Amino acid sequence: MSNSVLDQILEVVQSSPHSAKSLVLYALVNTLEHEGAGCLFKLTKLRDLDPEGRRLAYALMELMVTEANSGEAWKQAKQRMDELVRNG
């Protein structure tokens, strides 16, 4: 599941790195990566997402619940997202 969700989010970010959808999902990935900070994410930002974007956001939250928001697949996906958002 984790690779599938991360791959889907990478596709969204790669297709349009600076769109609202990409940036909201990217912000959520960043938030979930740092649980020690309390996973602070403004939930009203979910309103900026279409139903598919919200599905991906909820799937990301499920990854955090199952403690799959770390590891090599997460790290690689996050690194690629960083590159796309910064240079895309």
Please count the structural domains in the chain: 1
- pLDDT for 79: 95
Mean pLDDT of 78-85: 95
Q: Give the confidence band of 37 by pLDDT, cuts at 50, 70, 90.
A: low
Would you say residue 88 lies in a domain? no
- pLDDT for 86: 93
Q: Which domain holds residue 11?
A: 2-82
Residue 82 has pLDDT above 70, yes or no: yes
Would you say residue 43 lies in a domain? yes
Q: Which of 15, 71, 37, 66 is nearest to 27 (CA)?
A: 37
The alpha carbon torsion through 65, 74, 14, 20 (nearest 10 deg) reads 30
Q: Give the confidence band of 49 by pLDDT, cuts at 50, 70, 90.
A: very high
Task: In the chain, count H helices and then E strands.
Answer: 4, 0
Q: Which of 9, 15, 19, 2 is nearest to 63 (CA)?
A: 2
Would you say residue 87 lies in a domain? no
Residue 1 has pLDDT above 70, yes or no: no
Would you say residue 17 lies in a domain? yes
